[in-house]
Structures are given as structure tokens and as C-alpha cells.
């Protein structure tokens, strides 16, 4: 058994479905490359700490309500798009539950 620190996206991207207007429920397929400190207790349990996202690529976004994807999904105005060159470290304390 192990505890894994939650990861947040490199940027807080907000999506909108052009098909049904959904702005809250999406299936996001992403590839992340991370660096993390693995701490094993004397009992053998693993705790993953200090997780840093080094790279993240969003491969597909699908609307959970109507199933639309591709060009139908847009990024909300004012949302910050990921910077693939200089992603920042992850603050596990700032993660909000979904």
C-alpha cells in the first residue's frame, strides 16, 4: 500500500464544449513526466513526496456530457495555456479535490 501525492496540471486550463456548453466535466488524456521523492517507511509503505511536473502534454480532451472532442472543445478565455518549455514545480498543498 502506498500514498501518492496528488498532481495538479502544469497550468489550470479551463475547457468549454462547443457542442453542449459544458464547462465542468471533461475526460483529459495527458502524458506527464515527473520527478518525485519516494519515501519507504520501515513497514514498507511508500509515500511519494515533492512531486514536480517536468513536462505535460494534453493528447485528447473529450466532453463527459455529449462525447464531443477535437475542434469542438475550446480553451476558456482568460485561461492560461501550458508552457511546454518552462513548467513550474508542483505544490501538493495547493491541490483542490475534484
Among 6, 98, 88, CA closest to 52: 88
The whole-model pTM stands at 0.60
**DSSP characters over 59-91:** EEEEETTT--BGGGEEEPTTPPPP-SSSPPPP-
Residue 44 has pLDDT above 80, yes or no: yes
Q: When comparing pLDDT for 52 and 87, which is higher?
A: 52
Question: For position 3, what pLDDT does the model report?
Answer: 46
Q: Rounded to an integer, what distance in angstroms lies between the CA atom of residue 14 and that of residue 22?
A: 11
- pLDDT-derived band at 78 (thresholds 50, 70, 90) equals low
Q: What is the rounded average pLDDT of the residues 54-71?
A: 95
Locate the domains of the chain by residue range. Answer: 2-6+14-75
What band does 77 get if pLDDT is binned at 50, 70 and 90? confident
Amino acid at each position: 500500500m502506498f500514498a501518492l501525492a496528488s498532481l495538479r496540471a502544469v497550468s489550470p486550463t479551463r475547457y468549454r464544449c462547443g457542442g453542449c456548453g459544458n464547462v465542468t466535466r471533461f475526460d483529459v488524456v495527458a502524458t506527464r513526466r515527473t520527478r518525485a521523492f519516494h519515501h519507504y517507511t520501515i513497514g514498507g509503505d511508500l509515500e511519494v513526496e515533492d512531486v514536480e511536473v517536468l513536462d505535460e502534454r494534453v493528447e485528447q480532451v473529450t466532453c463527459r456530457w455529449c462525447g464531443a472532442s477535437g475542434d469542438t472543445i475550446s480553451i476558456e478565455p482568460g485561461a492560461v495555456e501550458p508552457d511546454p518549455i518552462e513548467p513550474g514545480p508542483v505544490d501538493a498543498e495547493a491541490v483542490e479535490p475534484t
